[in-house]
Structure 1
Amino acid sequence: MSLLFRYIFLRHARLLLLIMGLGVGIYLLTDLVERVDIFIEAGSGIGLILQYFGVRLPSIVAQILPAVFLLATVVTLCLMGHSRELVALHAGGISFATVAVTLVICGVFWGAVQFGCSQFLAAAGERYSQQIWQEEVRKKDLDDRTLDDVWFMEDGWTVSIKTLRADGSGTGFSAFHVRDGNADVDVIVHAPKVTGSENGWTAVDVVRLYPDSYRRESLPSLTLDLHQNPELFFSTETSNLQQLPLWQLGDAINQLGAAGSNVDGLRTVWHGKIAYAASLVVMALLGAAIVSRFSNVYIAVAISMAGTFIMYALTMFGESLGQRGALPPFMAAWGPDVLLLIIASARLYFVSVRR
């Protein structure tokens, strides 16, 4: 590890942590102002409020880290330029491109921090904060949620449920089995009640029909070898699947895709989790590109904030297009990073050629 890298990394990290503290404070203050009346009406104590915002901290950090990293990069370079450190480095044979590469390495490090924070601490914290908000503040029992007209397909079975509860119990259960390589239905199952889990779906007071032989059976219960998790339907309905860690989201996409659901939106989110962490590398180049044109710290910070807004707008726009199927998930998620990377790289290349 070179002396230059240690110097830039430590100076950049101090500014990043300072800006991060200010950003998190503003975020929490804004969120508290919006929710304080609801907390008061629910009779929530200080302990519950602190617990709610405490478990949300990792999610907030992961969300604002790209913007914070860009601001820290711009301020670091502007201060180095103001103190003539960049000039001294250039006179010593160290080009501005070398400084930019050093910041890219910093971006790789903080990108890994963002990814780990979002996929481990933030995912668990968001689920816990939603549980606190719904059950302790809103006084809602999450197990009382219901969905109507649920259906899925698995291993030749097409399953329909009139009403499904969050605990896996349902009413109005019907299942149709199709032979392999044939469009004919060979088994039909009807039941007034069913309980489902990843270990199997058990129907009660079952009527099983065999259309080929016109045979009818009445069974007190029947367990079908189905492994569809009922929670996935409610997670999809409330967008909670998007908060799952990357590997769990991938498993959910595979299950829902096999069940016949449209998972383009979730695939976009899956790619977006990686692209968002990788955006810190792009922010390193973008910050260097901004300072190469505007050395005044106030102008550079203003432009970097505008760049942050553009990045978030492009990310939301791309995610919207991906969920609608207008763009492939990979392109929708990685498009903003690629676009900003091209712009920043072109500016830095122009500067290096001119020098």
Structure 2
Amino acid sequence: MIPPQWQFFPSRQVSFYMARLFITRTLAVLALLVVVLQTLDLLGQSGDILAYAGNGDAQLWHYAGLRVPQIIATFLPFSVLLGTLVMLATLNQNSEIISLKAAGLSAHQILAPMIAAALGIAVVSYVFNERIVARSTAALTAWQAVDYGPIPPDSGVKTNPWVRDGNNLITAAIVAGRGNGVQLRQVQIFNRINNSLTTIVQAPRGHYDAASKSWLLDGARQFDVARGTMRDVGTVRFGHDIRPDQFTLARVDPDALTFSELSAAIDDLRDAGRPTKALEASLWHKIAGPLSALLMPLLGSVAAFGLARSGQLFIRAVIGMALGFAYFVADNFSLAMGNLGAYPPFLAAWAPFFLFLLVGETVLFRTEE
């Protein structure tokens, strides 16, 4: 039989007891936050929703149904932090933590059931984000784009996309159609040699030639930058490596896409020569964000453990809250730096997680272990 001090979890009864307390406190805090924040948000948006003729109570409830998943996804880590503090402060105040330590349990063993429950919450949060939040975000964004009116069907028309063909850049004022039937209007090709612009080819229209897997421009004219002259060149063929869908790529909203959809969009944008660093950071954060729930029991443990038993429970709870909120500030800052290109995408998404994991472990070891 494994000695108690070498077991990762305490007894089954204690483990279920602490996991149940942790989950119920977290869900109670989350429900309270959702009700309060949704009420405030609905009060702020109801005027815009009702401003559209014909909108009424049904549209208000529809907005609330689309907004609630976003609020849950955003504030679930906060709820885990606050639920941890409420639970540990209560256990400390009732001397249950002291009883567990007197029975020979270490600080890590006491926190183990909470960390296991937090891992379950992280998995549920990831699935919830993939299945529900992404769809509701896409629907709400489309609805807000038409000022809460009827959403028109997607016409498939895109404006002002640009694609890279080797060292050259191709732009089109309007792109219509899908697949091999893509049509280009007001096309410009900027031919460059060693990053120096040499010629500009302009054409009123162009289309994709599936037989040769290239693009054709009709009625093209070429401007020579060095000579400053313009001449007619007729039909121009270009872009053997450019797929039709590279012209039809729209602006990518990472919050409205699942992990697999965002990964595919990043690959398409990368093939089109567009910057993807910000989207790559958001892609990694789709995993790092839900996993932040694992840190909350560790950062909030200061509410239960401390060097001195001075009875200053409120101060220790405030310190735990400060550590948790410091993580959220660092996480948002790091993600913003990743969007600006100052941090590599992987570092922008994961650096705060591992940094505060070390901070939480350091605080726990220095105080209790």
Aligned partner of 1:341 in structure 2 is 357
In the superposition, the TM-score normalised over structure 1's length comes to 0.79
Q: 1:207 Cα shift?
A: 5.0
Instruction: Say which SS state the counterpart of residue 53 (structure 1) adopts.
Output: helix
> Is 2:141 aligned against 1:130?
yes
Q: CA 1:344–1:48 in 2, change beyond 3 Å: closer, same or farther?
A: same
The SS at the match of 1:234 is coil
1:27 is aligned to 37
Structure 2: how far apart are the matches of 1:42 and 1:230?
Answer: 34
Query: CA 1:19–1:352 in 2, change beyond 3 Å: closer, same or farther?
Result: same
- Alignment pair present for 1:233 and 2:250: yes
CA offsets per residue over residues 121-158 of structure 1, 9 Å max, x none? Answer: 10011111222323361567585898754211369985
Secondary structure of the equivalent of 1:326? coil
Counterpart in the other structure of 1:315: 331
Partner of residue 19 from structure 2, selected from 5, 9, 22? 9
TM-score, with normalisation over the residues of structure 2?
A: 0.76
Q: Secondary structure at the match of 2:17?
A: helix
Q: Distance in 2 between matches of 1:195 and 1:22?
A: 56
**Matched residue type, 1:135:** V
Alignment-derived partner of residue 4 in structure 2? none
SS class of match (2:251): helix
Where 1:335 maps in the other structure, the secondary structure is: helix
**Aligned-residue offset at 1:88:** 1.9
Give the number of equivalent residue pairs: 334
87, 95, 98: which one pairs with 2:106? 95
**Larger helix percent:** 1
CA distance in 1, matches of 2:204, 2:259: 37
Larger radius of gyration: 2
CA RMSD of aligned residues (A): 3.9
Query: Superposition pairs for residues 1-355 of structure 1, below 5 Å?
Result: 2-43=12-53, 44-135=55-146, 137=148, 149-153=160-164, 159-164=170-175, 170-174=184-188, 192-193=204-205, 206-207=218-219, 226-228=243-245, 232-235=249-252, 240-293=253-306, 298-353=314-369
Does the 8 Å CA contact 1:190/1:208 hold for their aligned counterparts?
Answer: yes
Q: Report the secondary structure of 1:233's partner residue.
A: coil
Q: Percent identity?
A: 21
Letter in 2 for 1:127: A
Which segment is superposed worse, 81-90 or 121-130?
A: 81-90
Residue type at the aligned position of 2:329: A
Residue 212 of structure 1 corresponds to none
CA distance in 1, matches of 2:171, 2:146: 30
Unaligned segments of structure 2, at least 5 residues: 1-10, 222-231
Residue 331 of structure 2 contacts residue 349 of structure 2 at CA under 8 Å; is this kept in 1?
Answer: yes
1:298, distance to aligned residue in structure 2 (A) = 4.2
Work out the CA distance in 2 between the residues paired with 1:164 and 1:72: 51
Q: Distance in 1 between matches of 2:176 and 2:329?
A: 36
Secondary structure in 2 matching 1:228 = helix
> Which residue identity does 2:85 align to in structure 1?
V
Please give the secondary structure, in 2, of the residue aligned with 1:206.
Answer: strand
Aligned equivalents of 2:350, 2:278: Cα separation in 1: 14
Q: Deviations over 1:205-239 (max 9, x none)?
A: 83589xxxxx97769xxx9971425563333xxxx
